[in-house]
Amino acid sequence: MSAILQNLSTYNAADIPDAAAMSFGIVVADYNSDITYPMLQGCIETLLAHGANENNIHLYHVPGSFELPLAALALYERKKPDAVICLGCVITGETRHDEYINKAVSDAIMKLGLVHKTPFIFGVLTPQNHRQALDRAGGKHGNKGIEAAVTAIKMVQLVKGDKNKNRAGFITP
């Protein structure tokens, strides 16, 4: 279904593991704060709604999305959270800067997760314009911060959970 027709942040709360024993890092870009701060609010509210302890949520602010990976690494090394959520927004402009930034940031965040065997969540919006960004930061298409929090909880359960069963109860090799 097209994103134009739906709230992409809708999920079944009963399908989300309890986050009471989990710890989280959040790194948020201050650039485009009218977009990233509502994402941050949605992220924190979702973590808390699923049982996360406020004392187990560590927050770093960075100037822009390009700085997310380095700050995510610093947060991980200092606090050792079960997952690190990276929130930012890079809007397409008159130049191709967005392509370079988005590729570099997404590759770096993915590499952090693989190297550290820890979920590093890509919660960076890559819209074509400001209106699309607002629509995905608490507007008609939901809130990417909520989606990032749900993803973090699920991935922590997957990585740290029962090593012989996945969430559906199937035995895995």
Tens of pLDDT, residues 148-164:
999 999 999 999 975 54
- pLDDT for the residue numbered 66: 97
pLDDT of residue 3: 53
Burial label for 24, CB within 10 Å (0-12, 13-18, 19+), is buried
What are the distances in angstroms from CA 93 to CA 126, 143, 164? 11, 22, 47
Burial call 11-21: b when 16+ CB within 10 Å, e when fewer: beeeebbebee
Q: What's the confidence (pLDDT) of residue 169?
A: 47
Over residues 118-124, the mean pLDDT reads: 98
Here the CATH number for the domain that contains residue 92 is 3.40.50.960
Give domain status of residue 173, yes or no. no
Confidence of residue 94 (pLDDT cuts 50, 70, 90): confident
> In this structure, is residue 36 part of a structural domain?
yes
Domain that holds residue 93: 20-160
pTM, 2 dp: 0.90
Of 50, 97, 116, 141, which one is the catalytic site residue? 97
- 34 occurs within a structural domain: yes
The two structure tokens encoding residue 98: 């967005």
Is 2 a domain residue? no
Tally of structural domains, the chain: 1
Q: Where are the beta strands (DSSP E) in the chain?
A: 24-29, 57-62, 83-89, 120-125, 137-139, 142-143
Residue 144: pLDDT band (50, 70, 90) is: very high
Residue whose token pair is 């109860």: 169
Instruction: Measure the CA–CA gap between 92 and 97, rounded to whole angstroms.
Output: 8
* Residue 61 known to be catalytic: no
- Using DSSP's 3-state secondary structure scheme, residue 22 falls into coil
